Homo-oligomer: A and B are copies of this chain.
Amino acid sequence: MKASEKLIQKNNEGKFICVGLDTDLAKIPKHLHSSENPVLEFNKKIIEATYRHAAAYKINFAFYEKLGAQGFDILHATRKLIPDDILTIADAKRGDIGNTSKYYADAVFDIFGFDSITVHPYMGEDSVKPFLLYEDKLIFILALTSNPGAEDFEKLKLSDGSYLFQKIINKANNWNEKNNCGIVFGATKSSELKENISSFGNLFVLLPGVGAQGGSLEDVVAIFKENNSRKFLINVSRGIIYKDNTENFDSMAQEEIVLMNQKVLKLLS
């Protein structure tokens, strides 16, 4: 199934939450430390507890790369634990000259088997195109991110009066010929979402920044509702996977994602 169709299907089922598997050995419940592969065991329990409610899973590559080569084995094994009908996002933030981006696309899509990837736009079209050539995948271009550094370059004003991140959203619309392009748009300030949502066109929107980073779920969903759009995916990492650090961490993660879905659905209705 095409990546975007997986997402639309989940959205139609009332699922809008992407579970971020930012799994950190130092933060997982202590009782798992004695298992053979604690990070993988944690991910397995989280996936088993949440897959009936998740719209997507996002795997943050840094958390696995810091474990060295074996971290990529854990990443790959985690990817395989996710049921096929659920979108898997490689949060790898890749981007390089054309022939190098092609190899990153090979790695993420063909070797590790992800449906989707996050991509740095800075190096321009030929750095993004090798990913977009995969028609069935979904490419999330970084537009406005949820961190303080977004002020430094993303929000620079261009000579035509627009902001850099707005130029990137325009380009992403141009690059969306095959309906396989999306954007990352930080949800920490809902006023920015409100001001820019009309420029999103048919792009899917991955929204980090809700919860731990300060964004309001209520405000974000209300803005999409006002604009009659359901093409959004709210990423929650720490707020779900570390909701609890006892032996009940998995059922508490489940409870949290169920509550969030209910909240979103109520706001949309």
Interface-centre pick from A60, A67, A69 (highest chain B CB count, 10 A): A69
Residue of chain B at shortest CB distance from A146 = B97
Across the interface, which residues of B come within 8 angstroms of A5, CB to CB?
A: none
| Interface flag for A194 (CB, 8 Å) | no
C-alpha spacing A161/B158, complex, angstroms: 9
| Interface flag for A38 (CB, 8 Å) | no
Give chain A interface residues in 48-106, CB to chain B under 8 Å.
60, 62-63, 65-73, 75-76, 93-98, 100-101, 103-104, 106
| Interface flag for A151 (CB, 8 Å) | yes
A126 touches B149 (CB 8 A): yes
| Interface flag for A217 (CB, 8 Å) | no
Across the interface, which residues of B come within 8 angstroms of A103, CB to CB?
A: 62-63, 65-66
B167 touches A142 (CB 8 A): no
5 pairs, A vs B, C-beta closer than 8 Å: A93-B96, A121-B153, A124-B149, A124-B154, A157-B159
